Structure 1
């Protein structure tokens, strides 16, 4: 059923196989076996693009509930047998996986040794999709998202943003800085659509004297920090970015609109003692900014 959900979400056998670490032939065989058991085709393969049949769309409506009940049944059986070790699949973007999740996992290990936490690192859009399709039980990310069918989301903290500048920069000793202070500065940014790029854009949303100057772009926040060290530009990043710990840069608190970014937790909506334990661990861990 989990394989069916992944194929139904991606509408691509090879991509589904890649995401669940199976061969394409194995995924195809599982779908064919499910179709044979139900006696109806679940996918229309007649065109170039795979599509759900009416029967497949109907099954997808039930799939998440079936998977959830199966997981709950497994946990209940293990608990009754005295071997209630469960695995909680938690995802996070790279910064949070490195700077926050280790403390959460340690807290879970101390308070709920019967729950093993497995951490996945991915981009925000992938995390959202994997919580929705059941691959992940929960995910941490910057920003917010509305409640959805089967998925809940809540803000757990607000992370402060910092303007980072090279050593000796004219703003290095400032108590704070806003977009009026950086009118002629050159910035290093991540790609459009990235969570860090959205933070940067939010910081300049109310600016009325033109767009900030982009000096360069990188997919890696750690690389951007190193480029700032070498005097190639400035950047705006969360204070909790691990690469800042030993970086030779000056960090100036950003002020005004977009001075902080929400840190959110999304989780599967079905009731689960493991999810409750995760919420407790997240609330107990002190955020290291």
Structure 2
């Protein structure tokens, strides 16, 4: 059985929706359908019941799901063991991160790994949160760091490693500039620049204002880039609430005010597959606040406090 098809089957079995599975693994619906049909042809059984509007696993599909998950894990373990037995000391590690974390948080982690595990070659992949979760699930990513948390899932581990403070960003000369802090009452009449709904940064903004849903500030515009939002704040087009670690804040001519309202910090989490490889274990040990079972690192990111 082809591992690629098995991974696609596991994703479809988890979502019971071809279009959603295709979105998560960044494939077309037709490609996902073809892989499932090819797997069914190879096994000679139907894996999904398509008689109703929603997919459902057949008895054969349910049986395969357990075996497929273990086969994928075994293949990953075998690959690592064979490389080690062959004397190939070099190891490759692919770590995913949302843009801000990849730019402001992961460089310190990669540097610590380079000092302690120089044989590990690290690749950092930047993607949206949903794609990071999907990459860890299907093995495309060895681990991923993102804002927020991930609900418990079989085969996955997730740990909060830091809490990133949120800040209110206002144009130069704004009445709130120079304040030691701001909360919901201070920004009720302000114009805000935000990312699109569903984005991690938009969820932070909405959580920060959730305490008073009847007093929502005006949304002046939606943008795909946090850096662009900071640039627009600099030019006086509105305000923003973002993590303090956003790299664009470093050189921007804006006023940065600590957010003292609800949800004043956002969790920074790492997710990985259970039974991690030696390279993933090294990554976990290099994180600012190592998850259970890993060795805590000495360094702390200046904009991300360790979890309480």
Does TM-score exceed 0.5, indicating one fold? yes
Equivalent of residue 113 in structure 2, options 100, 108, 116? 108
Gaps of 5+ in 1: none
- Equivalent residue runs for 1:36-55 within 5 Å: 37-42=42-47, 53-55=58-60
Aligned to 1:19: 26
Q: Verify: 1:286 aligned to 2:300, yes or no.
A: yes
d(CA) in 2 for partners of 1:233, 1:154: 35
- For the 8 Å contact 1:13–1:28, the answer to whether it is kept is no
Aligned to 1:75: 80
**Residues 209-256 of structure 1, C-alpha deviations (whole Å, 9 max, x = no match):** 511221111121111111101111100000111111111111011113
What is the total number of aligned residue pairs between the two structures? 286
Aligned to 2:293: none
Aligned to 2:188: 183
Instruction: Quote how far apart the aligned CAs of 1:2 are.
Output: 3.1
d(CA) in 1 for partners of 2:198, 2:24: 26
d(CA) in 2 for partners of 1:177, 1:67: 49
Q: Verify: 1:65 aligned to 2:70, yes or no.
A: yes
Q: Verify: 1:222 aligned to 2:227, yes or no.
A: yes
Root mean square deviation, CA, Å: 2.9
- For the 8 Å contact 1:64–1:133, the answer to whether it is kept is no
Q: Verify: 1:85 aligned to 2:99, yes or no.
A: no
d(CA) in 1 for partners of 2:260, 2:23: 43
Q: Verify: 1:244 aligned to 2:258, yes or no.
A: no
Q: Verify: 1:267 aligned to 2:272, yes or no.
A: yes
Q: Verify: 1:235 aligned to 2:240, yes or no.
A: yes
Structure 1 SS opposite 2:224: coil
Instruction: Quote how far apart the aligned CAs of 1:111 are.
Output: 1.6
Structure 1 SS opposite 2:287: helix
Structure 2 SS opposite 1:261: strand
**Which moves more between the two structures, 278-287 or 256-265?**
278-287
Instruction: Quote how far apart the aligned CAs of 1:36 are.
Output: 5.2
Equivalent of residue 127 in structure 2, options 107, 122, 125? 122
Structure 2 SS opposite 1:193: coil
Cα gap change, 1:184 to 1:276, in 2 (>3 Å): same
Gaps of 5+ in 2: 13-17, 289-296, 304-308
**Which moves more between the two structures, 173-182 or 40-49?**
40-49
**Which moves more between the two structures, 168-177 or 66-75?**
66-75
Aligned to 1:155: 160
Aligned to 1:96: 101
**TM-score scaled by length of structure 1:** 0.87
- Equivalent residue runs for 1:198-213 within 5 Å: 198-207=203-212, 210-213=215-218
**TM-score scaled by length of structure 2:** 0.82
Instruction: Quote how far apart the aligned CAs of 1:13 are.
Output: 12
Instruction: Quote how far apart the aligned CAs of 1:108 are.
Output: 1.9
Instruction: Quote how far apart the aligned CAs of 1:129 are.
Output: 2.2
Q: Verify: 1:5 aligned to 2:7, yes or no.
A: yes
